[in-house]
Structure 1
Amino acid sequence: MEFETGAIPLSDIDGAFDLQATLESGQSYLWDRADGRMYESMDVYGGDAWYETVVPPIDGVSDEQAVVRVRQTDGRLEWEATTDAVPILTHLLRLDDDLDAILDATPDDSLLERAYDAYEGMRLVRDPPFPCLISFICSAQMRVSRIHGMQMRLAREYGDTVTVAGETYHAFPTADQLAVRTEDELRDLSLGYRAPYVQRTAEMVANGDAHPNDAVGLPYEDARDSLTQFVGVGDKVSDCVLLFSLGFLEAVPLDTWIQTAIADHYPDCEAGNYTETSRAIRDRLGGQYAGYAQTYVFYYLRAGGE
């Protein structure tokens, strides 16, 4: 098997784009850098490294598993893939978003303006739902580099192996592949107390008891509640999956950095519980696209912007 190649001119998309900021800002743990330096720096912006992933079939986008490699250089996204990568990259990297219009729809706010200026072109990702769900189950109390390492180990140990042009790539395991692993096997991959959560959630999906896609089409808070049926999933993890996979751009995960932003910049949004605080900060960040604003603030603060 060999790669097809191509390029997407960045002039063809609405608004700026930065690949490194998008893929290394803590939204997705399913891509890897070919040079082995994924998540090496917290202040990521404007690099030209190759990133690679194995993408499962995506409804309405691609009917087959695909190996995709991409880098940003000279005003374009160069790609290598086992199929036409343009629709896949457009989907995964939200190249179909009008970024300028989205950010213009969020409030005039000095913190947001500083974050937008610092990471111009950072977009949300649209990860495949099951891998995204497992990634964020693994995210509790972990640094981004360790979360990423867990997902890479799961792929190497239990996912499909694909060889292209003499190189080997590892797909993230399917629910069926993870459901048959034991808790001890998952603990051996350093998942710790998250191991039974991952195994049981995979089992629920494999058995047809539930799927993260079931949240699509529900009102936002109902969608968040629906994801908490998975083992190890609370409101924050639900919001991460809604935002970084399922297209709920109003979702605002209340992680440590957003709680810091609330305490330091929006103290009147603190309501004493997740549901009410979430409603308040969503309104403050503009409602419909609050998740975009949140992601910029999250990364700006995490990278030491304040």
Structure 2
Amino acid sequence: MDLQQIHQSGQCFRMVPLPEHTYPSGTKNGYRLISGLRVLRAWQDGPFVCLDCPHEDLSFWLSYLDMDRDYQAVIASIDRENTYLRAAAMSGTGIRILRQDPWEMIITFVISQQKTIPNIRQLVEALSSRYGTLLEDRQNRGSGEVREKDEVREKEGARREGAALEESLPPAFSFPAPSQLCLASLEDLMGLKLGYRAKYIHRLCQDAVSGRLDLSHLAALNYEEAMEYLTGFYGIGKKVANCVCLFGLHHIDAFPVDTWIEKILMEQYFDRKKYRRIPKNRLCETIVEDVFGRYSGCAGIMQQYIFYYERSVRQGRE
């Protein structure tokens, strides 16, 4: 697992880099993560990840980090002739698909439309700080070191005094629940510079509070059912629904197509002769089916590999 790769993979917008002076000895790339009412601090220590959280939350965070999945087996399953995908996977071996909150993912990826990653992070934090719950964020608690799967060992040095760290970070807020975010008027949301997305968020909050958008029902659906359900709501198209399915519902067959992924599909996999009769609005979907359909149960992981590779590795070299 590589925390920096996860941070740069475009799936989680609540990973806040920790100040370097807070790192336990020998670690690097520290982050604070928030999920629901839980707070985690994590640092990279070579091949290990050091976790700092209450002991009773450890099993939650191990599941959140998808520690039970064999990602090496996923990489080994890649067709050797698909050299681009193999290179992408080898560049992002530390990526994991996080198990994030579905409601948070719905609003986050509605916000993400036509926004850069820094803009998305800023807007998600603005909603959280204004309408979420202020969380206790101290380090007087247990810690662990995570290996490849779920092996956890106590790591000396990952316990620190909470006061110094609290002075270095903004307060931790939960992402607002529907009942909290529903308190925001359309004008309030417009005031946060959400633009046209404000009306989508306002309607989705009303739908969630009324029960029309039933999050418990959504969680029980399979991938195809969840896609059909989500796209029935105002402001949620296929791209947003796929992001919710992959990052919020952990449907690993989901394969979101944004502008980055569309660029990759056209540059790396488009065959003019093969696809000449495919309508433009079906072209990317058809390429995804042809190239990634063979990776049943892990296509979404492949999506993350190529997204990270194109955005963080290839673009960085250029």
Q: TM-score range by the shorter chain?
A: 0.7 to 0.9
User: After TM superposition, where is structure 1 displaced by more than 4 Å over at least 4 residues in a row?
Assistant: 273-276
Matches within 5 A, 1:206-217: 206-217=209-220
Amino acid at match of 2:262: Q
Query: What TM-score, normalized by structure 2, do the two folds share?
Result: 0.78
Displacement of 1:213 after TM fit? 4.8
* 2:92–2:305 Cα contact (<8 Å) kept: yes
Give a deviation string over 1:28-49, Cα, whole Å, max 9, x none: 112222339xxxxxxxxxx823
Unaligned runs of 5+ in 1: 1-16, 37-46, 57-64
Conservation of the 8 A alpha-carbon contact between 1:252 and 1:282: no
Q: TM-score, normalised by structure 1?
A: 0.81
Map of 1:281 onto structure 2: 288
Which secondary structure does the structure 1 equivalent of 2:136 belong to? Answer: strand
Q: Do residues 247 (structure 1) and 250 (structure 2) align?
A: yes
Match of 2:99 among 110, 116, 126: 126
Please, which moves more after superposition, 169-178 or 212-221?
A: 212-221
The offset of 1:94, in angstroms, is 1.0
SS in 2 for 1:164: coil
- 1:219/1:279 CA distance change after superposition, 3 Å: farther
> Runs of 5+ in structure 2 lacking a partner?
21-26, 139-162
Match of 1:156 in 2: 129
| 1:10-159 matched pairs, under 5 angstroms | 17-35=1-19, 48-56=28-36, 65-108=37-80, 109-159=82-132
Partner amino acid for 1:190? K
Q: Tell me if 1:262 matches 2:265.
A: yes
Match of 2:312 among 279, 303, 306: 303
Distance 1:128 1:264, change over 3 A: same
Distance 1:107-1:212 versus aligned 2 partners, 3 A rule: farther
Is the contact made by 1:212 and 1:227 (CA closer than 8 Å) also made in structure 2?
Answer: no
Q: Larger deviation: 266-275 or 166-175?
A: 266-275
- Aligned mates of 2:89, 2:116 — CA distance in 1: 23
Bigger-Rg structure (1/2): 2
Give the AA of the match of 2:126. Answer: R
The DSSP-based 3-state class of the residue aligned with 1:169 is: coil
Provide the residue aligned with 1:40 in structure 2. Answer: none
Q: Tell me, what secondary structure is at the counterpart of 2:172?
A: strand
Aligned partner letter, 2:314 = G
Give the C-alpha shift of residue 85 in structure 1: 3.6
